[in-house]
Amino acid sequence: MNNKVNIKDILLDIERPARYLGNELNTYHKDTSNKDLVRFGFSFPDSYEVGMSYMGLQILYNILNEQEDIFCERIFSPWVDMEEKMRERNIPMFALESREPISNMDFLAFTLQYELSYTNILNILDMGNISILAKDRTKDEPFVLVGGPCAYNVEPISDFVDIVSLGEGEEVLIEVVNKYKEWKKTDKSREDFLYELARDIEGIYIPSLYDFRYKEDGTIKEIVPLKEDIPKKIKKRIIKDMSKAYFPEKIIVPFIDVVHNRVMLEVFRGCIRGCRFCQAGMIYRPVRERNPEFMKDKAKKLLENTGYEEISLSSLSTSDYSGLDSLADYIIKEFGETKKVSLSLPSLRLDNFSLDLANRVQKVRKTGLTFAPEAGSQRLRDVINKGIEEEHLENACRQAFENGWKRLKYYFMMGLPTETYEDLDGIVKLAEKTVDIYKEVNGKLDNKFGINVSTSSFVPKPFTPFQWHPQDTIEELREKQHHLIVRFKNNRNIRYMYHDRFTSFLEAVIARGDRRLGKVIYTAFKKGAKFDGWEEHFNFEIWKEAFEEENVSMEFYANRKREYDEIFPWDIFDVGVSKEFLIRENENAKQAKVTPNCREKCSGCGVNIDLGKGLC
């Protein structure tokens, strides 16, 4: 029986119809009439262009589809014009490859990359005719599974989720599917299956099997497992040997431009640095590198199988990769000089900025340089443990200008703990100093020279040393943004941009939220909230109304200082990094005391104890 939905009649009436075709180069197509086939829908709850740029999708899509009895298909949020047409014609949400309704799936998996995608998840469920609340789902409906960085505090959306995968999914997803195949042969209930997952598979959290109890002041009193033989704390899953871990030799090539139209090589996971605001640097510990020879082979095969003309080395801090010179030299000589394949190196640090490498990389295509000092003053950079000095910044800029670069981007945060207006003025002084350096090197300022300065608002995130700090209020952020606007106003060589403070505020609310936010998110969705990460679609008034109607305080979550003895919603998880280490780092921040990176000296974060020695 053909269950495909018909979208031919509407493709000419919508923007970018190629988003919905599902037959791009290197996609999988399997016989869906096969009763033994496990149907796995992998959803990135945002636009096609954003989702197709996510390397994790490409890895999991291929690793699942290489199993003969699993069919992994992609699902993205339809853009507003497509959704309008689908709802007009009662076309259900469908998977791209088979173009069958997502209600046909056995699993519907969402990657949680940012908190403002949550209403899109509810919208996909609603358009797929799948019960939004997990407690309402029947045995015939898909199991809703989530993973990714925001899963480390999944409680705000726990009402909608059946299964949470904590940590790296390459191994655990196969284990879950194998468990599902066993369950399908029985007449056991959904609840039985979920219980067996919680009991038997490390890294799996089932929200419905835990009860959250609260104190009178609104803080959490305790988190109680509802079964005796399920873990009180769920340990994250990690891949210990990255050079033996799966990495695809082909990836899907979209028909249209996406955010990252290139081959991405993941050179390592984790980070040796300890930036105190950075969640990824904590939750992805320990550092595990891929062998350069392994990556050289993958680079060659991926270029052959895609036709891309650019390679990007992906990691949290690419310049800390010990095999960087070897791999970069190979790519430049093997593909750059003869085939004009360019190499991009994101996440370069200023303290080990190698202009020689940058010059070699830019021989094919010279672009601008991007640096992220994060804070304008040395004191505040020490508070956040950024680990770079003023002289690093000046030397890097001088070398860049001496070698012909004319454009720079600077990224900063505002609202960091202990920040003063003197620290904000440091952002201005650093940008102005960079203008002076350019003038010294070139003798004058010219029309091609320019600096882009961008500030985002600090968001306190789980499992970071700053998780106890409040976020600045919306009004405080507005005043700080205005201060910088005025200070930069008369310098025509510097362009200042800032991130929307309202979206940052909502992000902080949800990032530190608990189960009581589920009803708010549901209400906001019913009022029309979706694509909240897109400025043109974000409506803060909808969210304000939802919080007021549900009698939940936004400020309680975003603007309240936490004490060390408070129980957090995410304390149910063990990510390897100990709370004692995070407290110690927070105290070091108050003294602007820098902690050495992991290669210089072990800081005793706890990861080696829990996850095995020799990994850091």
- Structure confidence by residue, pLDDT tens digits, 424-442: 999 999 999 999 999 999 9
Which of 80-84, 185-189, 334-338, 591-595 bottoms out in mean pLDDT, i.e. has the lowest? 334-338
Nearest to 100 by CA among 14, 153, 39, 179: 39
- Could you give the residue ranges of the DSSP H alpha helices within 163-291? 169-184, 190-200, 279-283
210 DSSP assignment:
E
Residue 121 carries which side chain, given as an amino acid letter? I
Which residues partner with 163 through β-bridges? 145
The pair phi, psi for residue 262, each rounded to 5°, is -165, 170
Question: Which CA distances in Å does 398 have to 34, 387, 436?
Answer: 63, 20, 10
Q: How much is the pLDDT for 3?
A: 83
Which of 32-46, 379-393, 598-612 bottoms out in mean pLDDT, i.e. has the lowest? 598-612
pTM: 0.95
Q: Please state, rounded to an integer, the average pLDDT across all residues of the chain.
A: 93
35 vs 69: CA distance, rounded Å? 10
Pick the residue with more confidence: 351 or 536?
536
- Structure confidence by residue, pLDDT tens digits, 11-25: 999 999 999 999 999
State yes or no: pLDDT of 68 exceeds 60.
yes
Q: How much is the pLDDT for 355?
A: 65
Confidence band, pLDDT 50/70/90 cuts, at residue 612: very low
Q: How much is the pLDDT for 608?
A: 64
423 vs 291: CA distance, rounded Å? 41
- Cα 273 → chain centroid: 18
Nearest to 392 by CA among 420, 365, 373, 367: 373
Sequential DSSP letters for 84-120: HHHHHTTPPPB-TTT--BGGG-SEEEEE---GGGHHH
- Structure confidence by residue, pLDDT tens digits, 28-50: 999 999 999 999 999 999 999 99
340 vs 365: CA distance, rounded Å? 9
The pair phi, psi for residue 412, each rounded to 5°, is -130, 165
State yes or no: pLDDT of 115 exceeds 90.
yes
Question: Which CA distances in Å does 476 have to 415, 483, 489, 583?
Answer: 8, 11, 20, 26
169 vs 148: CA distance, rounded Å? 9
Mean per-residue pLDDT, 50-56: 95
Pairing of strands 204-205, 163-165: antiparallel
Q: Which residues contact 564 (CB under 8 A, 6 or more apart)?
A: 468, 583
CB atoms within 10 A of CB 350: 20
Mean per-residue pLDDT, 389-393: 87
Which of 154-158, 163-167, 237-241 bottoms out in mean pLDDT, i.e. has the lowest? 237-241
State yes or no: pLDDT of 568 exceeds 70.
yes
State yes or no: pLDDT of 610 exceeds 60.
no
Q: How much is the pLDDT for 351?
A: 64
Q: What domains sit in the chain, N to C, each tagged with a CATH number?
A: 8-235 (3.40.50.280), 262-365 (3.30.750.210), 368-499+566-604 (3.30.750.200), 506-562 (no CATH)
Q: Percentage of residues in the chain with pLDDT exceeding 90?
A: 82
Q: How much is the pLDDT for 367?
A: 60
Q: How much is the pLDDT for 615?
A: 47
Which residues partner with 42 through β-bridges? 74, 109
Q: Which residues contact 391 (CB under 8 A, 6 or more apart)?
A: none
392 vs 276: CA distance, rounded Å? 20
229 by Cβ neighbours in 10 Å (0-12 / 13-18 / 19+) ranks as exposed
- Structure confidence by residue, pLDDT tens digits, 438-447: 999 999 998 8
Token pair of 498, please?
């800032």
Are 370 and 397 within 8 A, CB to CB? no
State yes or no: pLDDT of 274 exceeds 80.
yes
Q: How much is the pLDDT for 371?
A: 87
Sequential DSSP letters for 340-363: --EEE--S--GGG--HHHHHHHTT
